[in-house]
Amino acid sequence: MRSTTWARWATCALAISICVPAALADNARDGRGDGKKSLATCTAFDQLDKDDDTVAFTISNTCTIPVDCSISWRVVCAPDSKKRRATHSGRAKLSLANGGSSSAEASAAVCGDDAWKLDQIQWSCEPNKD
């Protein structure tokens, strides 16, 4: 009687010790359990001031596929002035190989000596269709 109970317990313990770690490993790959990365986890955006009137936007791709990305922004000249305030939209499209990165620049040179700010900065990427 005791050997039967012990054998059942040992069998259950063995099954749990094999199945549970395998199931956890599958789900831990990326949190979804299907083993695929989303573009949000393998693309990154950064911006860096280059000089007084230029900002560089960089998108990096660590995905295993090439991606096409777009960036849009708005330069606001004289943002605190009601009379001189002016807006200028900009955009860029970037094609990134897997493991690559690319940059676009926003320039406030159109503002001359006026103060300026960047706003409405948006970026997105999608798998390359080629």
| 33-74 tens-digit pLDDT | 455 668 889 999 999 999 999 999 999 999 999 999 999 999
Shared domain for 47 and 31, answered yes or no, is no
**DSSP characters for 39-51?**
HHHHEEEEEEEEE
Shared domain for 6 and 64, answered yes or no, is no
Q: Count how many domains the chain has.
A: 2
Compute the distance between CA of residue 41 and CA of residue 12 in angstroms, rounded to an integer: 38
- Give the domain extent around 89: 39-127
Shared domain for 44 and 27, answered yes or no, is no
Backbone angles phi, psi at 41, to 5 degrees: -90, -10
Shared domain for 63 and 15, answered yes or no, is no
| Residue 45, C-beta contacts closer than 8 angstroms, at least 6 positions apart | 57, 58, 59, 71, 123
Shared domain for 6 and 53, answered yes or no, is no
Tell me the whole-structure pTM to 2 decimals.
Answer: 0.69
